[in-house]
Amino acid sequence: MITVFGATGTTGAPLVDALLAKGVKVRAVTSDPAKLDKLKAKGCEAVTANFTDTAALEKACAGADRIYLVTPAHLDMRQWKANAIKAAKAAGVRHVVLATGLGASPKAGLTFGKWHSETQELLKESGLDWTFVQPTYFMQNLLWQAGSIARDGVYHDDLGGPVSWIDARDIAEVAAEALTGEGHAGKGYGLTGPEALTGEDIAAILSEVTGRSITSAPLAPDEAKAAMISGGMQDEVAAAMVELASIAPKGYLASIETTVSDVLGRPARRFRDFVAENRDAFVK
């Protein structure tokens, strides 16, 4: 049995699908009882547990050999993951595949890298087997502004430099392999897509795929932060997002990792294909 936390989320949902496709028994966890039926319809067990409820977390881990642990980007995410790691240990879980972020390490200089590193170190100290999946920006983030791209024909670029975007389905498939295969314990998997793209590159792909003229317009850090806060993100988390984006113009988010092809034996998905699959979202 594998327990998947964050099972309705951007990486958790395709992970449940990938594990079920491998014929593995899955227990999907949500904090929202209204989502249980949809999860069960996939063919897995489904339970509710909030990251604040240690007893429910332990129940969600009972009988599971391995778990996938992801939380949303949230000020409490270190405490939430600490609760889940404690519950996993108490329930007898052997191996935790932990979703963090590219660059997370004790040497990290940026807030997200430090936050994620704290949890990575905690998991190492727990004595459980661990694998870290450390992705860069998700291609799926583009869907956050699909409405305005469709309406105005403008891609708002808050990065201002090249980024090696990854498809969240590739993160999920690497996690699925780490959860079911051998030889992944003690590994930190930095994950990127196969190419680094600027805002202009993304606008060109959107234009080509939709047949519309879509331009890229820079989005200033203050505007980006305000947009994230108005979308429900906490102030400090939005500030950490803006801080991370600030290193893109220097080229620091452009590195390409070969982990997806190394682990899965096939190339990482390309941005153009992601846009083509989601074409309707970018058209009025």
Ligand X SMILES: NC(=O)c1ccc[n+]([C@@H]2O[C@H](COP(=O)([O-])OP(=O)(O)OC[C@H]3O[C@@H](n4cnc5c(N)ncnc54)[C@H](OP(=O)(O)O)[C@@H]3O)[C@@H](O)[C@H]2O)c1
Site string for ligand X, 187-216 (x = CB under 6 A): ------------------------------
- At closest approach, how far in Å is the CB of 104 from ligand X? 9
- At closest approach, how far in Å is the CB of 179 from ligand X? 15
Q: Is residue 234 part of the contact set for ligand X (CB under 6 A)?
A: no
Binding-residue total with ligand X (CB under 6 A) = 24
Segment interacting with ligand X (CB under 6 A) among 135-143, 199-207, 211-219, 269-277 = 135-143
Encoded tokens for 41: 């319809």
Q: Binder to ligand X among 31, 105, 180, 234 (CB under 6 A)?
A: 31
Segment interacting with ligand X (CB under 6 A) among 28-36, 60-68, 86-94, 226-234 = 28-36
Q: Is residue 131 part of the contact set for ligand X (CB under 6 A)?
A: no
Q: Is residue 73 part of the contact set for ligand X (CB under 6 A)?
A: yes
Segment interacting with ligand X (CB under 6 A) among 17-25, 26-34, 60-68, 225-233 = 26-34
Q: Is residue 11 part of the contact set for ligand X (CB under 6 A)?
A: yes
3-state secondary structure the chain: CEEECCCCCCCHHHHHHHHHHCCCCEEEEECCHHHHHHHHCCCCEEEECCCCCHHHHHHHHCCCCEEEECCCCCCCHHHHHHHHHHHHHHHCCCEEEEECCCCCCCCCCCHHHHHHHHHHHHHHHHCCEEEEEEECCEHHHHHHHHHHHHHHCEEEECCCCCECCECHHHHHHHHHHHHHCCCCCCEEEEECCCCCECHHHHHHHHHHHHCCCCEEEECCHHHHHHHHHHCCCCHHHHHHHHHHHCCHHHCCCCCCCCHHHHHHCCCCCCHHHHHHHCHHHHCC
Q: Is residue 141 part of the contact set for ligand X (CB under 6 A)?
A: yes
Encoded tokens for 174: 């690497």
Q: Is residue 28 part of the contact set for ligand X (CB under 6 A)?
A: no
Burial code of 23-58, b = ≥16 C-beta within 10 A, e = fewer? ebebbbbbeeeeebeebeeeebbbbbbebeebebbb
- At closest approach, how far in Å is the CB of 99 from ligand X? 5
Q: Is residue 99 part of the contact set for ligand X (CB under 6 A)?
A: yes
- At closest approach, how far in Å is the CB of 248 from ligand X? 12
- At closest approach, how far in Å is the CB of 188 from ligand X? 13
Q: Binder to ligand X among 2, 3, 4, 10 (CB under 6 A)?
A: 10
Segment interacting with ligand X (CB under 6 A) among 61-69, 71-79, 210-218, 223-231 = 71-79
Q: Binder to ligand X among 21, 32, 55, 106 (CB under 6 A)?
A: 32
Q: How many CB atoms lie within 10 A of CB 21?
A: 10
User: Parallel, antiparallel, or unpaired for β 66-69 and 2-4?
Assistant: parallel
Task: Point out which residues bind ligand X (CB under 6 A).
Answer: 6, 8-12, 30-32, 35, 50-51, 70-73, 77, 99, 101, 112, 135, 137-138, 141
